[in-house]
């Protein structure tokens, strides 16, 4: 996979969350969460089920507003800014992306251009170029005229990732991009996220695989019961003690012999 076409991207802090709290009815989901994300950075959001990871991504995307605190996305309040303005700076790839099965790969990727098109939605030369670049970046050029229902699960994931790239966002939000994928496609998904970050995007990904996160991410943010309990480089964050405390599981923690990334394996036996 090659990288996306170079964009004129802003530098510095693109996402800033300050003391944000959110509840689903009477059930608290986030309590006093603060973190910031930079351009050119791939951040992994980790934590057990129900820790608040997906809720935090929803706040950044403007799909929900914090009950307390603030969220800023490229200077915007994503919950109150016009959706078109938010879509021009951020793209969200949800856990289960939806698209009509009758659409082709190219048509699906073109949907990412909607925030940048006029009222008639007619594709311009810039739109066509962005779509072709996204297809190339995600190794989909040969599948461009195939229908979504003729693709494998891994191929469809690449289509939705390409649609997000065609949107030309400054911030790319990935909610469990490796869910339901086999090992090869998990690695491919994280490789696409890495390439996007190296191209200058700010990439925030909700992840469950600690080892994949450690191998791919520049920085990890660990949530537990709606609070940030650790933040920093993978080697500093993924200690055996912290994994045991947060996930409630004893582990062996080592170092990958080739990459130097931390490796975490459960020590529980049957």
On the question of pLDDT at 36 being above 50, the answer is yes
Residues 177-186: pLDDT tens digits?
888 788 888 8
Residues 219-235: pLDDT tens digits?
999 999 999 999 999 99
Quick one: tokens of 101?
């099965």
Q: Are 223 and 206 in contact (CB under 8 A)?
A: no
Quick one: tokens of 260?
């130097």
Can you name the residues that pair with 124 across neighbouring β-strands?
Answer: none
Cα–Cα distance for residue pair 175/183, rounded to 1 Å = 17
- Band of pLDDT at residue 158, cut at 50, 70 and 90: confident
Residues 83-103: pLDDT tens digits?
999 999 999 998 777 766 789
Q: Are 161 and 138 in contact (CB under 8 A)?
A: yes
Write down the pTM of the prediction. Answer: 0.88
pLDDT of residue 156: 85
Q: Which domains does the chain have, with CATH numbers?
A: 13-266 (3.40.50.300)
On the question of pLDDT at 200 being above 80, the answer is yes
């Amino acid at each position: 996979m090659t990288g996306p076409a170079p964009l004129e991207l802003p530098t510095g802090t693109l996402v800033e969350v300050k003391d944000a709290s959110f509840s689903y009815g009477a059930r608290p989901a986030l309590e006093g969460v603060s973190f910031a994300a930079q351009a050119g950075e791939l951040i992994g959001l980790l934590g057990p089920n129900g820790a608040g990871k997906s809720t935090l991504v929803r706040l950044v995307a403007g799909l929900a507003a914090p009950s307390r605190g603030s969220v800023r996305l490229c200077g915007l309040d994503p919950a109150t800014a016009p959706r078109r303005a938010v879509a021009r700076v951020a793209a969200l790839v949800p856990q289960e992306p939806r698209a009509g099965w009758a659409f082709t790969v190219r048509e699906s990727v073109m949907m990412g251009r909607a925030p940048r098109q006029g009222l008639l939605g007619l594709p311009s030369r810039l739109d066509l170029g962005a779509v072709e670049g996204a297809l190339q970046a995600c190794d989909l050029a040969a599948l461009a005229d195939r229908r979504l229902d003729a693709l494998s699960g891994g191929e469809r994931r690449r289509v939705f990732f390409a649609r997000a790239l065609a949107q030309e966002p400054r911030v790319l939000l990935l909610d469990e991009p490796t869910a339901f994928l086999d090992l090869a496609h998990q690695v491919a998904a994280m490789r696409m996220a890495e390439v996007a970050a190296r191209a200058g995007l700010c990439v925030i990904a909700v992840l469950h695989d600690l080892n994949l996160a450690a191998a791919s991410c520049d920085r990890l943010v660990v949530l537990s019961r709606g609070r940030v309990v650790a933040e920093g480089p993978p080697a500093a964050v993924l200690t055996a003690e912290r994994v045991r405390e947060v996930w409630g599981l004893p582990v062996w923690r080592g170092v990958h012999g080739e990459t130097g990334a931390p490796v975490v394996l459960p020590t529980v036996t049957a």
